[in-house]
Structure 1
């Protein structure tokens, strides 16, 4: 009997320990590259003592893997916080009733344009879509200034984009559909196809091909573009359409998942991600542009104040992203 009591007591202590251990954690799903997001999450662990269990996307399935997993887990949520590299996937979750509103005081001075009006998501640390080009293959007079210049004959077979079924390329094309309308965007995409556009596996692949001189130019994100410029003086970047529709600005976003197990810890990491400290770290590690004013950044990082942004409605763009998936699949298959 005494042995049974000892065993039961031991099991009870283990159970309590396991419960307490589980309570002092937070589960984060993220589409942000692990090389950049993991150090931020590790710093949060060190500073708070809260264990972070993270699930990361791969480069090739960027933004779709963890997004679909959160949707599949809707009735039994395993994720507490979704850290996305753009707003549109977050809005997909909001529209499916998967997110919770949270108004973080840390974000009070962030431009309302980068926040959900109902506080279901908040933006921080932005990237932009840019053109990257090889200076040895394009003279200054031939460097495109507009996205529409990519259909010019002199660039035939020399340009690339990442697979538009994934990641920020999907976001970019969805934004074009929203801003230009269906007819004009489809015509533009067909013109790109006729100009022998190369579809790369990822933004990183676009960077690599332009960097090694395989292609003259391509569309990618500022983090990949600035990384390429560090690697070679032969690489340049252009913020396109500064006299037209503007460049697409893509803030990171964070939101809470409804019905998750660690709501209080989720709010703590939500606030942490929105902090100036996090924006400064992301500026240094992956050249992202802060949304808070006055954050110290490396000199090569431009201010958002000096970039003409594409004027888009993130909600409409999110709906368009879902709407055009079948069209994009056919377009990619026939490219």
Structure 2
């Protein structure tokens, strides 16, 4: 083979490799509910973004993906992490598993975390789901602390507080209340024989069925029940104090991602205003971080007071709160 032909063959091989790389989808790890995420991803794919999504199970979600991303940090499989909450994103960013991904979405929330380091969008809050028939004529709880009231013994359900938003919420309570009050709360829940269920969806289902009168869960679960006409009411707790503990979605590029440019483009697309609006419409989140966007109709015209906690404070309490939960509640 002549030098010219060898050169031509090499160029052809290089071109084919380039085309193959360009056609490879961006690998997305996400803890968002699959039914909601697929709606968004199908829309983005119609815009020319090729994405292969990897989901996780209901009970573990972000926790399981955090472990997987950490285990793969030497040779990452994922290009982007789209998290349904923020704490594990913060931890992965601090550990160098994720790289800073500047974005306009959510700027100003949680110091420089949102906007400068990750994209933040779409809010869910921790609320009390009430079984309407059982609670008729009963004084309604107005705070998370009310769940420890003996009057609600054997009537309260929570998700297992080692995972997901319940774990994040309990870490925030530990940070805000201090250890003594937090332990007292856990012990009171145990005395009251609180129902500990696998996930937030199970909590909602227990309330809908009347097995629990009160459930601590997320707004998306309760709004879904309301849209199905099920007999539940939704209470945003602690409106006379800090407000309802709230989480927001986050997205960032994985460090040393195989497709960094495409990954950055996907993060920008996920955090766009149109996507945040669509997430509210399909029930994935109920409120926007963008003040100009409306929330879900079930929230009402007057937005509730929301409690956003600095991820650093929650991270500092997470491991300790989990140890205390194991010791005093489980």
Rounded Cα–Cα distance in structure 1 between residues aligned with 2:295 and 2:146: 32
Q: Which residue of 2 aligns with 1:83?
A: 82
Post-superposition offset of 1:81: 1.1
Q: Which residue of 2 aligns with 1:244?
A: 241
1:22-101 alignment runs, 5 A limit: 22=24, 25-47=25-47, 49-101=48-100
Post-superposition offset of 1:94: 1.4
Aligned residue-pair number: 323
Secondary structure of residue in 2 paired with 1:306: coil
Rounded Cα–Cα distance in structure 2 between residues aligned with 1:296 and 1:307: 13
Picking from 127, 132, 137, the partner of 1:135 is: 132
Rounded Cα–Cα distance in structure 2 between residues aligned with 1:114 and 1:132: 31
- Structure 1: gaps of 5 or more residues: none
Rounded Cα–Cα distance in structure 2 between residues aligned with 1:117 and 1:171: 17
Task: Decide whether aligned partners of structure 1 residues 264 and 165 sit closer, same or farther in structure 2, where only a CA change above 3 A counts.
Answer: same
Secondary structure of residue in 1 paired with 2:134: coil
Picking from 133, 141, 145, the partner of 1:144 is: 141
Task: Decide whether aligned partners of structure 1 residues 95 and 319 sit closer, same or farther in structure 2, where only a CA change above 3 A counts.
Answer: farther
Which piece of structure 1 moves more, 169-178 or 94-103?
94-103
1:102-113 alignment runs, 5 A limit: 102-104=101-103, 106-107=104-105, 110-113=107-110
Picking from 290, 293, 307, the partner of 1:292 is: 290
Q: Which residue of 2 aligns with 1:18?
A: 20
Post-superposition offset of 1:314: 1.6
Post-superposition offset of 1:39: 1.4
Rounded Cα–Cα distance in structure 2 between residues aligned with 1:306 and 1:148: 22
1:1-335 alignment runs, 5 A limit: 12=13, 15-22=17-24, 25-47=25-47, 49-104=48-103, 106-107=104-105, 110-113=107-110, 116=113, 119-232=116-229, 234-286=231-283, 287-302=285-300, 306-310=303-307, 312-331=309-328, 335=330
Post-superposition offset of 1:331: 4.2
Q: Give yes or no for contact 2:107–2:116 (8 Å, CA) kept in 1.
A: no
Post-superposition offset of 1:326: 3.3
Deviations 1:258-308 (A, max 9, x none): 1111111111111111111001111011142111132255422347x7322
Q: Give yes or no for contact 1:26–1:80 (8 Å, CA) kept in 2.
A: yes
Secondary structure of residue in 2 paired with 1:27: strand
Which piece of structure 1 moves more, 225-234 or 198-207?
225-234
Q: Give yes or no for contact 2:110–2:308 (8 Å, CA) kept in 1.
A: no
Rounded Cα–Cα distance in structure 2 between residues aligned with 1:43 and 1:143: 41
RMSD between superposed Cα atoms in Å: 2.5
Post-superposition offset of 1:233: 5.1
Post-superposition offset of 1:120: 2.1
Rounded Cα–Cα distance in structure 1 between residues aligned with 2:295 and 2:128: 22
Rounded Cα–Cα distance in structure 2 between residues aligned with 1:226 and 1:114: 30
Deviations 1:29-75 (A, max 9, x none): 1111111112111211111x231011111112121111110010111
Secondary structure of residue in 1 paired with 2:203: helix
